[in-house]
């Protein structure tokens, strides 16, 4: 184990985002002094961070942009560890370079300021995109997405996450920084921030009926609180190294929307598949043995789905509809 949390100062990039906010909350709960980076710390979208337990005494926000190396140095100064969460979640090919350059800047600024450990937030999009892989293979930390396939299918988000992760490994190796990588799936659950992030936006499109049909596709999911906890678990274990898959459940989209309809039958969640003439895609399997060995327990998907929708209601992103009576 590393030193006591009460003696440690850590920094979280992208502190006001979906995962970043929960990570800040978890770190404060464990007694860490936390710095968070934001492009505009005074923006009202970061106000929720100041309301977290322990924030008044142990949280400070720094104005920084991962594309501006110099802005990162003050935020990382005197820190024991850095959690690099900030990254564009978009399929815009122009943002590929943003993810890569931002990662380079974070690793090098951390090294220059004497930071010993960096935890990097990757994505399972950097793992599973490979059509040549045996469909019965259990995917683990040794698996990578096929970069050429990502480019051919214009899946720029998965391409960016894979290249950014490889970049983090290369830069950390050159600079002597201890790097640990958390690889979460599609992240859902209760939101702390008021603004809508990409993964919860996807759920909202089903709930409000704007998504008229679901794809014949499979996706993996994990609760945001589990992702935050995974970051802390790998940081606190001195022997932790390399990648850690953080994946709760793997579901065909039909099962996903069926769960939403069952929990909230009053909403117009589609039951139509976009391409039901083709065989149903089979779910693939992941090994989360490495993370479970650190004590990780995953939130049941049904609980995460329920909390996601309730959170969307509470933040005004979907209307609150009366529950349909079975009578």
Q: Give the separation between CA 134 and CA 137, rounded to whole angstroms.
A: 5
What pLDDT does 91 receive? Answer: 78
Q: Which of 75, 60, 78 is nearest to 7 (CA)?
A: 78
Domain boundary assignment for the chain: 5-188+223-247+285-298
Q: Give the separation between CA 24 and CA 16, rounded to whole angstroms.
A: 9
**Average pLDDT score over residue span 229-245:** 97
Specify whether the backbone of 37 is left (phi greater than 0), alpha (psi in -120 to 50) or beta: beta
Tell me the pLDDT tens digit for each residue of 195-226.
999 999 999 999 999 999 999 999 999 999 99
Helix (H) or strand (E) holding 308: helix 301-314
Look at residue 232 and tell me whether its pLDDT is greater than 60: yes
Tell me the pLDDT tens digit for each residue of 118-138.
999 999 999 999 988 888 899
Name the token pair of 44.
């009202």
Average model confidence (pLDDT) for the chain? 93
**Average pLDDT score over residue span 294-316:** 97
Q: Give the separation between CA 21 and CA 111, rounded to whole angstroms.
A: 24
Specify whether the backbone of 114 is left (phi greater than 0), alpha (psi in -120 to 50) or beta: left
What pLDDT does 74 receive? Answer: 97
What pLDDT does 4 receive? Answer: 64
Q: Which of 231, 22, 283 is nearest to 117 (CA)?
A: 231
Tell me the pLDDT tens digit for each residue of 251-283.
999 999 999 999 999 999 999 999 878 888 888
Q: Which of 182, 184, 187, 183 is nearest to 203 (CA)?
A: 187
Told to judge if 161 belongs to the known catalytic residues of this protein, a careful annotator would answer yes
What pLDDT does 133 receive? Answer: 86
User: What pTM does this model have?
Assistant: 0.95
Task: Give the strand pairing for 218-223 and 249-252.
Answer: antiparallel
CA-based Rg of the chain, rounded to a whole angstrom?
20
Look at residue 325 and tell me whether its pLDDT is greater than 50: no
Q: Which of 233, 192, 232, 230 is nearest to 27 (CA)?
A: 232
Q: Give the separation between CA 44 and CA 242, rounded to whole angstroms.
A: 36
Look at residue 3 and tell me whether its pLDDT is greater than 70: no
Catalogue the E-assigned strands of the chain: 9-13, 33-38, 59-63, 81-84, 117-121, 138-139, 178-184, 186-188, 218-223, 242-246, 249-252, 285-286
The residue among 36 and 89 whose pLDDT is bigger is 36
Neighbours of 204 (CB within 10 A): 16
Among residues 70, 132, 151, 161, the one annotated as catalytic is: 161
Q: Which of 245, 102, 118, 95 is nearest to 176 (CA)?
A: 118
What pLDDT does 327 receive? Answer: 36
Query: For residues 161 and 279, is the Cβ–Cβ distance under 8 A?
Result: no
Residue 9 banded pLDDT, cuts 50, 70, 90: very high
Q: Which contacts qualify for 146-150: CB closer than 8 Å, 24 or more apart? A: none
Q: Which of 76, 113, 243, 94 is nearest to 168 (CA)?
A: 243
Query: For residues 280 and 274, is the Cβ–Cβ distance under 8 A?
Result: no
Look at residue 172 and tell me whether its pLDDT is greater than 50: yes
What pLDDT does 322 receive? Answer: 87
Q: Which CATH superfamily is domain 5-188+223-247+285-298 in?
A: NAD(P)-binding Rossmann-like Domain (3.40.50.720)
Tell me the pLDDT tens digit for each residue of 45-86.
899 999 999 999 999 999 999 999 999 999 999 999 999 999
């Amino acid at each position: 184990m590393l030193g006591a949390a009460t003696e440690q100062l850590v920094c979280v990039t992208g502190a006001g985002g979906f995962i970043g906010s929960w990570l800040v909350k978890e770190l404060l709960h464990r007694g860490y002094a936390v710095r968070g980076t934001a492009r505009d710390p005074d923006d009202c979208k970061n106000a929720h961070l100041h309301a977290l337990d322990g924030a008044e005494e142990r949280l400070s926000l720094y104005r920084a942009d991962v594309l501006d190396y110099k802005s990162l140095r003050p935020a990382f100064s005197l820190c024991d560890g850095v959690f690099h969460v900030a990254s564009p979640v978009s399929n815009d090919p122009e943002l590929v370079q943003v993810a890569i350059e931002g990662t380079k800047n974070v690793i090098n600024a951390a090294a220059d300021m004497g930071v010993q450990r960096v935890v990097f937030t990757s994505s399972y999009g950097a793992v599973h995109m490979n059509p040549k892989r045996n469909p019965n293979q259990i995917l683990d930390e040794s698996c990578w997405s096929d970069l050429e396939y990502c480019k051919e299918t214009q899946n720029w988000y998965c391409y960016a996450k894979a290249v950014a992760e490889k970049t983090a490994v290369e830069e950390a190796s050159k600079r002597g920084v201890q790097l640990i990588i958390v690889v979460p799936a599609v992240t859902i659950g209760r939101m702390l921030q008021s603004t809508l992030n990409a993964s919860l936006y996807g759920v909202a499109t089903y709930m409000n009926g704007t998504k008229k049909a679901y794809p014949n596709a499979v996706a993996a999911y994990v609760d945001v609180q589990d992702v935050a906890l995974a970051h802390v678990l790998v940081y606190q274990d001195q022997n932790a190294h390399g990648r850690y898959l953080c994946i709760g459940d793997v579901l065909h989209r039909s099962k996903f929307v069926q769960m939403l309809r069952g929990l909230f039958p009053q909403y117009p969640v589609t039951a139509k598949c976009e391409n039901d003439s083709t065989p149903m895609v089979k779910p693939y399997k992941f090994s989360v043995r490495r993370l479970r060995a650190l004590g990780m327990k995953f939130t049941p998907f049904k609980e995460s789905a329920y909390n996601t929708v309730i959170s969307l209601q509470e933040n005004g992103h979907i209307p609150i509809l009366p529950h349909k009576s079975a009578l």
